[in-house]
Amino acid sequence: MVKQAKTKKVSRTRKTRALLQKQLAMPAGFHADDSSVASLRDVVDPSVPTKQLSELTLVQRAQLVAERLALQPSFELAMIGAGMIDKQRAITEVKGKTKVGKLLIEIEHQMIRNLLEQAQKKAAPKPARRRANAK
């Protein structure tokens, strides 16, 4: 029973790492000079000047989400009141900044915040382990 739980945890950790590796190349913000979108890798890197998500305008947020959606291999979401939303419709709604588009922008920005948190935890130095005193 314990072995099975450990195997699931290892498998989940590997999947999380693989997802984070894919996401590091995805757009996750803007460079400080507004020249272009910045990858998650750039946003996490303290030597690369980028804007905070909270500093982005609605137009920038929509552009960022539209680019992220375009890079997804597939996208499908069921939304009460809006029905099934496929990848093309999602991009259209986001670019049009419709009510549905704004909800999609919020969902994707929460995802980016979660990814940033995971990437920052991974990049943070791990505390040294205490060794038991051998006497």
pLDDT digits 0-9 by tens, 39-95: 999 999 999 999 999 999 999 999 999 999 999 999 999 999 999 999 999 999 999
How many structural domains compose the chain? Answer: 1
Instruction: Say if 126 falls within a structural domain.
Output: no
Instruction: Say if 134 falls within a structural domain.
Output: no
Rounded mean pLDDT, 99-116: 95
Instruction: Say if 23 falls within a structural domain.
Output: yes
Tell me the pTM.
Answer: 0.76
- Closest to 64 in 3D by CA, of 39, 42, 93: 39
Provide the pLDDT for residue 21.
78
Instruction: Say if 9 falls within a structural domain.
Output: no
Instruction: Say if 25 falls within a structural domain.
Output: yes
pLDDT-based confidence at 7, cuts 50/70/90?
low
DSSP-assigned letter for residue 50:
B
CA distance readout (Å), 43 to 3, 47, 50: 38, 9, 6
Instruction: Say if 6 falls within a structural domain.
Output: no
Residue-number span of the structural domain to which 51 is assigned: 15-121
The strand pair at 83-86 and 27-30 is best described as: unpaired
